[in-house]
Chains A and B, each alone.
Chain A
Amino acid sequence: MDSFVIALGWLGTFAPVALGAVGSAIGCSLAGQAACGAMLDVESGYGKFVGLSAMPSSQVIYGIVIMFTLMGVGVDESTAGALFGIGLLTGVALLYSAMYQGQAVSAAINASKNKPEVFGLSIAPAAIVEGFAVFAFVFALVLGASVGG
């Protein structure tokens, strides 16, 4: 039983990176496909589409930072449960925020391709989704720091 609890602790520690990576991969793939499609239809400004399509990659970076913070706490019987809860739920939040951010970025690319003047404004929905990922990131760090203390 103890080893199972410890395993859950490790699962929670690595979940933000793993789930964040899955989410970022899906999100960047969606946005990247939209960027590639848009490049077929426009004559210039390819760089901004490619740059924008990398936006969902931030979630995996947040995941890595959270993983190091949780690792710093140390996985033992007293901390494993907390690490599991914090890590897994943060990972799920990062996963979904990256996936949906990819869709928001796709829409932004599609809109700004047709109407370049809305480029800045069209990023707003994706930026708002990023904000939610940042909430999960920051509060995971705050909670992680309080575990074992």
Chain B
Amino acid sequence: MADKAYHSLLASLPHIDSLFDSKQTPISRFQLERRLSALNFDERALLDDIEKLMHWDNEEKEQMGEAELIRHTNRILGRVNSPALKELINWRLDMRTAIAALRRKRAGQKAPSEPQWSFGTRYEFIRRNWNVPYFNLQHTFPWLPDIARAMEEGQSFEAEKILLGAVWQHLTTMASKQRFSFEAVVIYVLRWNLVLRWTTYDREQAIVRFDQLVEGALGEFASALPDQ
């Protein structure tokens, strides 16, 4: 895409107001894909990779081993030329590493022995500060104590909400610095993904609740139902 054609693409995308007040995504995925077709092949491929990398749960990633996942992440990072995007991806990976470390620590595990046990830029720092509260990252990641508390109390939904809010805040701050560029397109798509994630939570919860109610109503006959 010619540099300046980002003006057309970004102006065609509807504004995303807020995360937690959103009832639905401002534009459907189908329409979003149509607008993103203005990007050239390389940009589209890179955007896809970044999107998959930043996405919370991705089947493809779950099938990879940790070492392969780290290599895969580094490969994608190697293709990113923009310092702003690199910083964003590393921030997000650091966030994931910090949460993973919190979970490991909570499960009573010791500091990882392998040097590159995770991705991002702070895995070594976390390893060295394993026994320090919040790995000495509470100033860099002010939301970390809140997440730790929510995890301690078993409030996984609250923890997820804090995480989403932190990512949203970071993306919003970055969006204010980026105007009509590939970085701005990536940030828009990532924000769109967050809204999608948040607006589908209720539906997911509703399905789980519905299953529980059905099982409760069927009682002992629930086991007679065919598996899906």
Contacts and interface: CB of A to CB of B under 8 A. Distances in A.
Given A106-B180, A107-B179, A114 B8 contact: no
A41 B13 contact: yes
B158 to A, nearest CB: 31
A110 interface: yes
A109 B15 CA distance: 12
A40 B35 contact: yes
Interface in A1-40: 26, 29-31, 33-38, 40
Given A41-B13, A114-B14, A114-B15, A103 B8 contact: no
B-side interface mostly: helix
Nearest to A107: B179
Interface in A83-115: 103, 106-107, 109-110, 113-115
Interface string B169-203: 00000000001100000000000000000000000
Nearest to A115: B15
Interface residues of A, number: 20
B167 interface: no
B69 interface: no
B39 to A, nearest CB: 13
A71 B77 CA distance: 57
A41 B180 contact: no
A38 B179 CA distance: 15
B8 A37 contact: yes
B23 interface: no
Given A103-B180, A106-B180, A107-B179, A38 B11 contact: yes
B8 A34 contact: yes
Contact of B11 (A29, A103, A110, A115): A110
Q: Is the interface of A mostly helix, strand, loop or mixed?
A: helix
A33 B1 CA distance: 13
B179 A41 contact: no
A38 B14 CA distance: 9
A103 B9 CA distance: 14
A113 B38 CA distance: 20
B191 to A, nearest CB: 14
Interface in A32-76: 33-38, 40-41
B7 A106 contact: yes
Residue of B5, B12, B15 with most chain A CB atoms under a 10 A cut-off: B12
A36 B35 CA distance: 12
B29 to A, nearest CB: 16
B11 A35 contact: yes
Nearest to A36: B8
A15 to B, nearest CB: 24
A110 B10 contact: yes
A40 B7 contact: no
30 contacts: A29-B4, A30-B4, A30-B180, A33-B4, A33-B5, A34-B8, A34-B10, A34-B11, A34-B180, A35-B11, A36-B8, A36-B11, A36-B12, A37-B9, A37-B10, A37-B12, A37-B13, A40-B12, A41-B11, A41-B13, A103-B180, A106-B11, A106-B180, A107-B179, A109-B11, A110-B10, A113-B11, A113-B15, A114-B14, A115-B15
The 5 closest A-B pairs by CB, nearest first: A37-B11, A37-B12, A114-B15, A33-B8, A37-B8
Interface of B: 4-5, 7-15, 35, 179-180
